Chain A
């Protein structure tokens, strides 16, 4: 069986544990896929979308809030700030967050607020995108 074991850990729980055929991650230098016998890698990942093909060959999609991934000896460890299925995403909350962030960007008070609003906006848009695409 050419399978990898995957573990996804978020601040609130162990979000995924199981064997998979492949995983596609939004790396900082671009999206990349990890298959069986991938070279050891440690990479930071951005806000975006993770696609997993599980051991039954089923494709699963998740929204991810940035973090790191480590691949070693066919073990994949993802540390992510958030990890949600399209069904888990609270679309209303994401829309609200988007609106708030946009307002703050328009008001542009200080640099620190701008950075924060930008990240919040990215996160919200990503959630909305993933949720729309797969549900």
Chain B
């Protein structure tokens, strides 16, 4: 049976934890707002590039860029985007499990002959896959504290080069997409080879067709220079998405932890009061029976 002092110290402990989780929730909420802004700011760039690109490709028929080349998949690179820090619920496990399932289902043979390379962005993914028998070609822990476009750019350039050198036949990014604060969806995004663009008719396409544009140096060169930028934008937005999703997940997890702590404190308080009353009752009955014994004597 727990003594009164034991219960009291537990209540104190849980209250401390609750304060921490509450603070972490607030910090995540503040960071999340900034992360969401970053996503919103990054969207016009990637959208515009995709638009210009798809329209150019639509008018420049037969633009064969090696980045489009679909090959038999004999080697693959998977970019795993996780978080640097924990305490965000099942956020990292979702990505890791999804990657492992994908490998088990489709690429087990590539894994066993060393043709499967992993690029882990975020400390949690690195920690997980380092301990297991995976080929970790790139590990990038601790990038989310100072997330910049240059990182996305360097990583993408490396992947692109290796794709062009036929070291990889396919590159996939697995990350958590930010749907809403309480909802994250694990996404597999194929970035290489670039899948064909949907060329839907839009105003811009019409203008390109009808207006007498000057293309400098020429259409093909512009497409060739835009494609790597498009790739970078894809990777960049995945990273931003994952970061916002991480903060959202942490916020929810910490909110739940705070709620749980509150519930725990409530039950502990009830227990404490019960014990206290029991102790008082015992004491009183002891005094009364003691007094009675004296009176009888």
Contacts and interface: CB of A to CB of B under 8 A. Distances in A.
Given A12-B42, A68-B52, A115-B161, A40 B211 contact: yes
B216 interface: yes
B244 to A, nearest CB: 14
B225 interface: yes
Interface in B220-268: 221-222, 225-226, 229, 232-233, 236
Given A11-B232, A79-B49, A28 B216 contact: yes
A28 B215 CA distance: 11
A77 B216 contact: no
B214 interface: yes
Nearest to B41: A13
A68 B215 CA distance: 11
B44 interface: yes
B105 interface: no
A43 to B, nearest CB: 4
B113 interface: no
Interface in A1-24: 9-14
A90 B161 CA distance: 29
A44 B213 contact: no
B296 interface: no
Interface in B55-80: 56
Majority SS at the chain B contact face? helix
B16 interface: no
Contacts of B214: 39-43
Interface in B281-296: none
Interface string A36-72: 0001111110000000000000000000001110101
Contacts of B232: 11, 81
Interface in B152-175: 152-154, 157-158, 161-162, 165
A68 B208 CA distance: 15
Nearest to B233: A11
A12 B149 contact: yes
B128 interface: no
A44 B162 contact: no
A107 interface: no
Given A11-B233, A72-B207, A72-B211, A44 B52 contact: no
B208 to A, nearest CB: 8
Given A29-B217, A40-B212, A79-B52, A68 B44 contact: no
A70 B152 CA distance: 25
A118 B12 CA distance: 59
Contacts of A40: 207, 211-214
Contacts of A9: 44-45, 48
A14 B216 contact: no
Contacts of A119: 157
Given A68-B52, A115-B161, A116-B157, A44 B216 contact: yes
A11 B296 CA distance: 93
Sorted from nearest, which 5 A-B pairs have the closest CB atoms?
A43-B216, A112-B161, A41-B214, A13-B41, A44-B225
11 contacts: A10-B149, A12-B41, A13-B41, A14-B44, A40-B214, A41-B213, A44-B226, A72-B207, A79-B52, A81-B232, A112-B158
